[in-house]
């Protein structure tokens, strides 16, 4: 890869890593489900007037929007609201890779390799350590509810990934762009977010949140809607168009690195030794799952 494109890839993973800090700041200022609604309002408008509606079945568009947009971010935002550290959340959310493999095997009949099972076993061990490794009284605590929420967010992301693969298979000669799919699918979660906010957070919380809306909250929403979504996905799509996926994909493993470092830098989050061990196992499991077969082939040659 050219130096210019390596820098572009690093910019994307930095944006996505810092994204967890921005969300943490956002859910302290607004109810998380209301924040989700506002985020996707800004994603959808005015983007749907700039990109043509993807020519895919409405059912698939609905499923995609409800899983990768509503499900993922509703549970992610709520996890951070109930006290899940942003840095640790950035690592655990990568469980989506394992869920995607399992769902791909069940729904799409994709084959699983021994390295996939080994990687998932290692990552599950890491999750077990995290679930039992909370410290006593401090920002380093990992709330069990937050951990469950993050895992459900990862599962929702994986459901969206599988739906995306099905969408790609249903496309005709005119393929839809990633930004077109992101823009139009952003319409889907707006009403579910608003209804969920009204039911679970209540009118008073919504009114108080909107009353406290200021430039800092607007900055959070603009970051989530434009930097993280359009700039991030846009640059990532450019890179995937220039290079093979195996050259670009490994950069995504740096997202938790920047998530952890930015959380420590901006939020003062710290992790203890037990949690470090759990996070290392999760990352090692992820690397084994994604690249284990290639690593073995390289060693043999």
Kindly report, residue by residue over 53-86, the tens digit of the pLDDT. 988 899 999 999 999 999 999 999 999 999 999 9
pLDDT of res. 63? 97
> Under a CB-based contact definition with an 8 Å cutoff, are residues 22 and 223 in contact?
yes
Give me the pLDDT at residue 32, please: 98
* Helix, strand, or coil (residue 70): helix
Closest to 232 in 3D by CA, of 2, 14, 27: 14
Q: What is the four-CA torsion angle of 230, 26, 19, 232, rounded to 10 degrees?
A: 0
State whether residue 188 is helix, strand or coil. Answer: coil
Q: Which of 205, 215, 93, 216 is nearest to 160 (CA)?
A: 93
Print the SS3 string covering 121-163.
HHHHHHHHHHHHCCCCCCCCCCCHHHHHHHHHHHHHHHHHHHH
**What is the structure's pLDDT at 174?**
62
Q: What is the pLDDT of residue 138?
A: 42
* Distance from chain centroid for Cα 283: 15
Identify the segments of the chain with pLDDT beneath 70.
Answer: 132-140, 171-174, 245-246
B/e letters for 255-271, b = 16+ CB within 10 Å, e = fewer, are: bbbbbbbbbbeebebeb
- Residue 137's pLDDT is 44
The domain spans of the chain are 3-300
117-172 residue pLDDT tens: 999 999 999 888 877 655 444 445 788 899 999 999 999 999 999 998 888 877 65
User: What secondary structure letter does DSSP report for 199?
Assistant: I
Position 210 scores a pLDDT of 93
Render 9-31 in DSSP notation, one character per residue.
HHHHHHHHHHHHHHHHHHHHHS-
The pTM of this model reads: 0.90
């Amino acid at each position: 890869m050219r130096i210019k494109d390596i820098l572009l890839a690093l910019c994307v993973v930095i944006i996505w890593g810092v994204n967890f800090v921005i969300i943490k700041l956002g859910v302290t200022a607004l109810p998380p489900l209301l924040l989700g609604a506002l985020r996707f309002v800004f994603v959808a408008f005015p983007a749907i007037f700039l990109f043509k509606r993807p020519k895919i079945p409405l059912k698939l568009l609905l499923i995609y929007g409800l899983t990768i947009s509503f499900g993922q971010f509703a549970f992610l935002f709520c996890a951070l609201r109930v006290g899940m550290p942003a840095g640790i959340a950035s690592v655990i959310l990568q469980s989506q890779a394992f869920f995607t493999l399992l769902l791909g095997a069940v729904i799409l009949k994709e084959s699983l390799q021994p390295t996939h099972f080994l990687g998932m076993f290692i990552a599950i061990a890491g999750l077990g350590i995290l679930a039992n490794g909370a410290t006593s009284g401090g920002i380093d605590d990992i709330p069990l509810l937050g951990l469950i929420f993050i895992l459900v967010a990862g599962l929702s992301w994986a459901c969206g990934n599988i739906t995306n693969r099905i969408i790609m298979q249903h496309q005709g000669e005119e393929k839809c762009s990633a930004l077109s799919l992101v823009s139009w699918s952003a319409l889907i979660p707006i009403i579910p977010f608003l209804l969920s906010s009204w039911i679970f957070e209540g009118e008073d919380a919504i009114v108080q949140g909107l009353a406290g809306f200021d430039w800092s909250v607007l900055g959070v929403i603009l970051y989530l809607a434009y930097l993280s979504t359009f700039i991030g996905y846009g640059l990532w799509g450019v890179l995937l168009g220039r290079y093979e996926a195996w050259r670009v994909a490994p950069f995504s493993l740096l997202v938790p690195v920047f998530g952890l470092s930015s959380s420590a830098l901006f939020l003062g989050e710290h992790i203890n030794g037990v949690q470090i061990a759990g996070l290392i196992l999760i990352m090692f499991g992820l690397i084994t799952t994604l690249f284990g077969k290639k690593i073995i082939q390289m060693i043999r040659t």
